[in-house]
Amino acid sequence: MTIALCMKCGETKWGAWCECEKCGTKPDVGSRLELIFTDHNYAPDTLEQLGSVLKEISSLSADSQQAQAAFLYYISGTHPDILQVSFPPKEAKVFDALLNACTFEPVTIEQSFEALMEDKQRQAEVDP
C-alpha cells in the first residue's frame, strides 16, 4: 500500500488517488502531483513534515486552492529537486507574505527505502 499526502488538507492517507478520510477530497485519477508526494519517493516522516507545512499555510490562507499553490511555491523555492512550478510575480508576492507568516520548522527531505533501492539499482546498471 502507498502512503500519500492529501494535497488539500495535508493529512497522510492510503493511496495517491484514493479519497482522503480526513477531508473527503478525491483527487483525479492520474494526477501526477499526487504521485510525487508518496512513500514511493519520500520517507513517511518527510511526508508528514510536508503535510504540516501545507496545514499551516492552509490555516492562514483564505482558500484551499491558494494554499495548495502557495505550498507548491514553497516546494519550488525550498526543495526544487522535488518539483518546480513558476508563478507570476504578483502571485509569488502573495505567497511570500503567506510563507513569512508561517512558523514551521525546515523540512528534512528523506528518500523512502523504496526510492533508495531504486537508486542503488540504477547505480548498479550504470557501473556493473
Residues within window 27-66 making contact with Zn ion, judged by CB under 5 A: none
Nearest residue (CB) to Zn ion, 36 versus 128: 36
- Smallest separation (angstroms) from Zn ion to the CB of 8: 5
Q: Kindly state whether residue 22 participates in binding Zn ion, applying the rule CB under 5 A.
A: yes
Per CB under 5 A, does 26 bind Zn ion? no
The CA angle 19-22-27, to the nearest 5 degrees, is 30
The least CB distance from residue 72 to Zn ion, in Å, is 16
DSSP SS3 for 111? strand
Q: Which residues, 2 to 21, sit near Zn ion by CB under 5 A?
A: 6, 8-9, 11, 20
Alpha-carbon distance of 63 to 13, in angstroms, equals: 21
Check residue 38 and report its DSSP letter.
Answer: B
Min dist CB 74 to Zn ion, Å, is: 18
By CB under 5 A, residue 23 contacts Zn ion: yes
**Among candidate residues 104, 110, 32, 40, the one with its CA nearest the CA of residue 70:** 104
Q: Which of 91, 101, 93 is CA-nearest to residue 60?
A: 101
